[in-house]
Structure 1
């Protein structure tokens, strides 16, 4: 039993000898709940000490603008993954929608071009949603096939040629990718507004609860009256809409587009989503953590460049981050880092 120490006035007794060190369970719980924030803080401190330019206002603003496209797509993909599925078609969809909105800009004007671009993006989301939600096909196979199909469609539409806006200085289309509001870049505003809106949707609406239910336990969700097909269909529409917003930012920033501009984006987006703690098994995750995951990737890549490392090292670091994030996700569910076989 613990001893007690009584003060001179006899009014306060404090246990003596009690072990006040944090228990192993407390440390594990802290890492599971706050590990992402701790890792983010450590990355920022390490790179700030290594480079005096890293923590400057200009550099931070630049990183936020750079990750806005990936982050905007990642918001939609997070909802798909929480619902228990994958969307690997976002890279090719980004290519197609960017080429489409830029090409139509000079032909029919920026307003109609934006509307048609979003309609095309939502049409792709409908196809993915129908095949995965209602036809119950495997989401990995469906979206991987859609990735190839959309890239082929992009090449057919563009004839293999890059597209550009002729009058780049005389169009308001530049607002979405080049302008600032209250000192913050518009792409950053679009990213953060979408993150806030869909965080509220996931946490404060019945639709959000249905997404978690379908991803966590589809059988129990079905017995509870949740219509899985409709929920899955809606998640792919959201993903397509977010990719359309990213295309709007990209096309407006560059004022042109290559027909393969989105190639590889699906892997970086998925890395940010996984790093943010969204489980590939479905049923768990959050948009704010995805935002942090995307920021970690952005600041790591930026820090490596400032330290003079070649560009390809970013892909190696991204691979390591994905492996560690998936490993820790699985380990947290089984309660240990390693498993043994009999």
Structure 2
């Protein structure tokens, strides 16, 4: 105090400088700017990254994880997580090929959607209605589905006997208007599910539950049913991804989906969806999927080992969660 005037404490002075600017960027965009800068550096070293053929190939490959990520966005925004989608991809793709060989392409399509929907509903019931911890529940489901796949397959691979005589090939190998069908499926689902998430009452319920589940329940939202439906969407999108990968390879292995759950979660949170729920966009998820796919492709073009992708995935998850915590601290201080 000087001459009766109380000076404001230094702690309450607005912070400026590089640190404050960094926190502001993290609060608004997460780690996306850093990712884009690194990707730009890789493109500068390996111009073939932005070659037209390479871009088409990367988009085609990323459509599998991309379709899964669209459904995972609903689950994460609701404040939950689903670690079983990789094992579900393995089971659904294997059953799809097996049913195709026994009963044809139409039956294979229905089998894939049926398995994905059933597993999604079971996860939704366990997490939404029984209130089990989603991390533990879906981790257990991941183990169960992988075990079922191994028993069902006997550890052997399976392939379509006559790949050139079936319309099933359209999902993974087809083209429409000169564009790969997998990319078109990814884009169409992104638009449809984006409308569902951002322009319907159901989408608003998902955001409300992820933001504050207690308040959402007191406002009349059936939180159990909404969470269960989020898991159902996640299961169905994984089924579509299984159709794409099974059709592209015209076969399946017992471990086809191994590791996909981490790529999917990384892409979703890279796109700005909160790991704690309550915020996110479908457009952000699409951007996250594409950026992560190009990053992985760029590492391969640089001649770096494939397993570095796992390190990048770890870095994305840790950095995104750290950025979110930094943003939350900034809001609290303000």
TM-score (norm 2): 0.90
Q: Which residue of 2 aligns with 1:267?
A: 262
Question: Could you tell me how far apart the structure 2 residues matched to 1:29 and 1:202 are?
Answer: 27
Confirm or deny: 8 A CA contact 1:96 1:151 kept in the other structure. Answer: yes
Confirm or deny: 8 A CA contact 2:98 2:158 kept in the other structure. Answer: yes
Confirm or deny: 8 A CA contact 1:251 1:257 kept in the other structure. Answer: yes
User: In the alignment, which of 51, 55, 63 is matched to residue 68 of structure 1?
Assistant: 63
Higher RCO by CA contacts (8 Å cutoff, separation 6 or greater): 2
Confirm or deny: 8 A CA contact 1:273 1:290 kept in the other structure. Answer: yes
TM-score (norm 1): 0.88
Q: CA deviation at 1:35?
A: 5.3
Matching of residue 204 in structure 1 with residue 212 in structure 2: no
Q: Which residue of 2 aligns with 1:256?
A: 251
Q: Which residue of 1 aligns with 2:72?
A: 77
Question: Could you tell me how far apart the structure 2 residues matched to 1:35 and 1:223 are?
Answer: 31
Q: Does the residue aligned with 1:169 lie in a helix, a strand or coil? A: helix
Q: Which residue of 1 aligns with 2:326?
A: 331
Q: CA deviation at 1:52?
A: 2.1
The structure carrying a bigger helix percent of its residues is: 2
Q: Which residue of 1 aligns with 2:4?
A: none
Q: Which residue of 2 aligns with 1:340?
A: none
Matching of residue 54 in structure 1 with residue 49 in structure 2: yes
Confirm or deny: 8 A CA contact 1:78 1:273 kept in the other structure. Answer: yes
Q: CA deviation at 1:22?
A: 10
User: In the alignment, which of 61, 81, 88 is matched to residue 83 of structure 2?
Assistant: 88
Unmatched runs of 5 consecutive residues or more in structure 1 = 1-20, 337-342
Q: Does the residue aligned with 2:37 lie in a helix, a strand or coil? A: helix
- Structure label with greater radius of gyration: 1
Confirm or deny: 8 A CA contact 1:73 1:246 kept in the other structure. Answer: yes
Aligned length: 318
User: In the alignment, which of 158, 168, 176 is matched to residue 153 of structure 2?
Assistant: 158
**Within 5 A, what are the aligned runs for 1:287-302?**
287-302=282-297
User: In the alignment, which of 207, 211, 218 is matched to residue 223 of structure 1?
Assistant: 218
User: In the alignment, which of 283, 286, 289 is matched to residue 281 of structure 2?
Assistant: 286
Q: Which runs of 4+ in 1 moved over 2 A?
A: 21-45
Unmatched runs of 5 consecutive residues or more in structure 2 = 1-15
User: In the alignment, which of 230, 242, 256 is matched to residue 235 of structure 1?
Assistant: 230
Q: CA deviation at 1:40?
A: 5.1
1:138-197: per-residue Cα shift (whole Å, max 9, x none)? 111110000011111111211221111001011111101011122221111111111111
User: In the alignment, which of 312, 318, 325 is matched to residue 313 of structure 2?
Assistant: 318
Confirm or deny: 8 A CA contact 1:277 1:329 kept in the other structure. Answer: no
Q: CA deviation at 1:30?
A: 4.8
1:31-58: per-residue Cα shift (whole Å, max 9, x none)? 5334565345424421221012111101
Q: Which residue of 2 aligns with 1:127?
A: 122
Question: Could you tell me how far apart the structure 2 residues matched to 1:185 and 1:275 are?
Answer: 25
Q: Does the residue aligned with 2:107 lie in a helix, a strand or coil? A: helix
Q: Which residue of 2 aligns with 1:18?
A: none
Q: Which residue of 2 aligns with 1:114?
A: 109
RMSD of the TM alignment (CA)?
A: 2.1
Return 97-106 or 277-286, whichever deviates more: 277-286
Q: Which residue of 1 aligns with 2:172?
A: 177
Question: Could you tell me how far apart the structure 2 residues matched to 1:320 and 1:36 are?
Answer: 10
Return 70-79 or 289-298, whichever deviates more: 289-298
